[in-house]
Structure 1
């Protein structure tokens, strides 16, 4: 798998080397200390780095952009280096069309297509960690269309190998495929909104192996390091998101309020004797100064766990809730120091705990603009 990823990155870099345009290089360094390991992955106990990134991007003539992103993660138990992105993306197609191919983040949900360091919290919401392994990237092709309307409206679709979503090979050539749409608009001069709907079809059979062979590793929630693959899967994943932002006269440099909510529904579940999984979160961020922000997020997932009872394995419905409170200081545009308290409460699930996390990020060089 690692040789495949490196070959893909080398192919993209060889395309970059064949043009004369300048190479943009960006680095994000991420360091943290977390008091306890909490359920459903994310950062582990102790000192570590969760998403340090080296990104290389370059225009290919006048028709495309090449992008390669390598992500390194380490903690007191293990280290990991992965090619998260290695793709070509068109820039000159007519009619608002855009095509990309290679390895990239799937365009689903509000957060999945963004890099982790752009998040308001140090860990993704529970529903992302449960159903997408934190964030889902894969090898494939994607197309998007910016519809020519007065209101922002974007449609996208993707087809992927499915190798990065699960631990087993797909039963078909297309392991997963996605559909999504986003709509948004301004409300006067001070507010704006965006809503989205996404669908992921999962043709892999990985959960059959998760529950039968890797129960201790996956479902005790003692994950360490970077999580590749989703622990809870079904054939269909539906996502809906809504974001609202407010800033004085639309200028968010000094002050901003951001409310975000997302809901996920998974059905046709592999192996588990349960009709569906689901999860949601609601978050609020208040930037009260150019350098300071605070926020709170509450989320919940309803899952199923396999337990042994009188010598036999049986499925039991479980619930995990998480409340996170955050205070963030940005002395410069490229630096952030973040303090968080996380509280988890579980029913019929293992690994829930409370934790305090101190997280520092610093960036160097070029980096793409963050999305809405």
Structure 2
């Protein structure tokens, strides 16, 4: 087995001592310079599925979902750091990844914050969250088709939070881009630029809302097209230093283009703000990807959207429903073929404590055209978490 990075696989036996030594050194350095201590946490995600869904990221039968161990803490007075290692199964084989390794400022003035290293882009509503905190077993089609489920990459982020009563945050991210398009040839750096804006607030004591808009410029999509025209699209060995290992199906976008826009809106309600007894959560996202390749016209674009509603009707019980729609234009030489997939999901979750979740989900897919793997599936998921985890976003 191998520990994957975005360059070459690292033998797991060689990586473990280095990884452990890095964590130990960081923890000792932090505690020597700062009274705050490092915190460690883990998440175990087990699942069983009757079938594998089209664009699904869970194997049929028993499997291991996004399971991680993480460490987070201060490096001196001015910086925070986090390291997260992840394992999961794909095609019944274990994959190991160094998912996060970043350094972030904590004392910059005027609402500024800078993060550098490997981390999840903050575009959209779900991407920055770890998948084990999701409300459904599988992420929406939008994320599975356009982001490979969870887009992690190497890069730099600059955020500014406005000093206003209404929450306002604007960010610029520059990524290498290999986490989004792993098998493209070398291109200009950075490979992907992301501009994000987010605003939110409260409506009385019982309601809160948040809205976001993300703009993505993907240079690596163009490099992939140029590489295909050069006759190397079928031979990834020619780009061994620039491609993912054999299990790349679980990494990177299935559909992409030069430009992407993502809009999201979330609303929450709970009586007098007490969400422990009862809560309703509604989330909607829409994404539009264009400039699929040089032959694409304005109408040759990919689109995806979903609407989810989750109701906590008792302290330990939640029920949810989600509707997804994916429309794509598949490039085929100098013309395009249509692709359309609908997905609906019903979910029931039992949470006896804040560290455990037992979830059952029924999912139905309708292949309108181009997705012969569309099916129905029953999925059961068990999540166990422990230790400290970063606070989840809104």
Q: Give me the TM-score of the superposition, normalised by structure 2.
A: 0.86
Corresponding residue to 1:298 among 323, 348, 352: 323
Structure 2 counterpart of 1:352, from 365, 374, 382:
374
CA distance in structure 2 between the aligned counterparts of 1:371 and 1:253, rounded to whole angstroms:
17
Q: Is 1:147 aligned with 2:162?
A: yes
For 1:268, which of 268, 277, 291 is the aligned residue? 291
Distance 1:83 1:295 in 2: 32
Query: What does 1:282-361 correspond to in 2, within 5 Å?
Result: 282-305=307-330, 315-346=336-367, 347-361=369-383
Matched, 1:84 2:95: no
TM-superposition CA deviations, 1:54-73 (whole Å, max 9, x none): 01111111111110011100
Task: Write the deviation string for residues 92-150 of structure 1: whole angstroms up to 9, x where unpaired.
Answer: 11111111100000110001111111111111100111111111110011011110011
Listed one character per residue, the Cα deviations across residues 30-89 of structure 1 (whole Å, up to 9, x for unaligned) are: 100011011113212110111001011111111111100111001562110001100001
User: For 1:315 and 1:183, how far apart are their aligned partners in 2?
Assistant: 37
Match of 1:246 in 2: 269
Q: Is the 8 A contact 2:102 2:117 kept in 1?
A: yes
The alignment partner of 2:250 has SS state of coil
Kindly indicate whether residue 19 of structure 2 is the aligned counterpart of residue 19 of structure 1.
no
Distance 1:250 1:225, change over 3 A: farther
Give ranges in structure 2 of 5+ residues lacking alignment: 1-6, 236-245
- 1:344 and 1:247 map into 2 onto residues whose CA distance is 32
116, 137, 151: which one pairs with 1:122?
137
Change (3 A) 1:204 1:170: farther
Q: Which runs of 5+ in 1 are unaligned?
A: 215-222
Give the 3 Å change call, closer, same or farther, for CA 147–48 of structure 1 in structure 2: same
Shift of 1:349: 2.1
Query: Is residue 227 from structure 1 mapped to residue 250 from structure 2 by the alignment?
Result: yes
Of 180, 196, 201, the residue aligned with 1:180 is 196
Whether the aligned pair in 1 keeps the contact of 2:56 and 2:138 (CA below 8 Å) is no
Distance 2:20 2:84 in 1: 9
**CA gap 1:269/1:4 in 2 versus in 1, 3 angstroms:** farther
Q: What is the Cα-based RMSD across aligned positions, in Å?
A: 2.6
1:278 to 278, 303, 310: 303
Distance 1:79 1:190, change over 3 A: same
* Residue number among 234, 240, 255 corresponding to 1:213 in the alignment: 234
SS class of match (1:249): helix
Query: Residue 202 of structure 1 is aligned with which of 218, 228, 231?
Result: 218
- Quote the offset at 1:213 in angstroms: 2.9
Among 197, 200, 208, the alignment partner of 1:192 is 208
Residue 242 of structure 1 and its aligned partner are, at CA, apart by: 0.5
Q: CA deviation at 1:17?
A: 3.6
Q: Secondary structure at the match of 2:382?
A: strand
| Structure 1 length-normalised TM | 0.90
- Matched residue, 1:218: none
1:46–1:75 Cα contact (<8 Å) kept: no
What's the secondary structure of 1:350's corresponding residue?
Answer: coil
- Matched residue SS, 1:355: strand
Partners of 2:200 and 2:72 lie apart in 1 by 28
